[in-house]
């Protein structure tokens, strides 16, 4: 199953003759019957109309709570975090919130 885009925030920065286009995407996928939200960051560099660089990184399973992932995205977006730093910056957050999935799976088992 492909990526399901929920929301996207974009920004364009310029530095001399290079244009940096960032896309911060809130994505979702099915994880053990639960909707899991994640983040993808893409950076494309252009000189004129020519794409000279592309970086993309994602963590597709962060939390079953959309609002928590949205908060994270806004932080990344406001700080113009590059794809290269995504894992460094939110990796520990992801590990800390893994238990939320267990809780959701247990809820489903009971219901």
The parent domain of residue 73 ranges over 4-110
- CA atoms within a 13 Å half-sphere pointing along the CA-CB vector of 102: 5
Res 98: pLDDT = 84
Mean pLDDT for the stretch of residues 12-39: 95
Average of per-residue pLDDT across 46-50: 96
Confidence check: pLDDT of 94 > 60:
yes
What is the structure's pLDDT at 108? 79
72 pLDDT higher than 50: yes
Average pLDDT of every residue of the chain: 92
pTM to 2 decimals?
0.89
Number of domains in the chain: 1
- C-alpha span between 54 and 62 (Å, rounded): 23
């Amino acid at each position: 199953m492909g990526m399901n885009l929920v929301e996207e925030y974009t920004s364009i920065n310029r530095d001399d003759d290079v244009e940096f286009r960032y896309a911060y995407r809130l994505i979702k996928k099915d994880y053990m019957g639960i909707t899991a939200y994640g983040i993808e960051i893409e950076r494309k560099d252009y000189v004129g109309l020519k794409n000279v660089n592309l970086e993309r990184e994602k963590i597709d399973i962060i939390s079953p709570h959309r609002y928590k992932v949205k908060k994270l995205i806004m932080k990344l977006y406001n700080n113009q975090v590059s794809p290269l730093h995504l894992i460094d910056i939110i990796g520990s957050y992801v590990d800390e919130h893994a238990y939320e999935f267990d809780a959701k799976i247990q809820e489903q088992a009971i219901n």
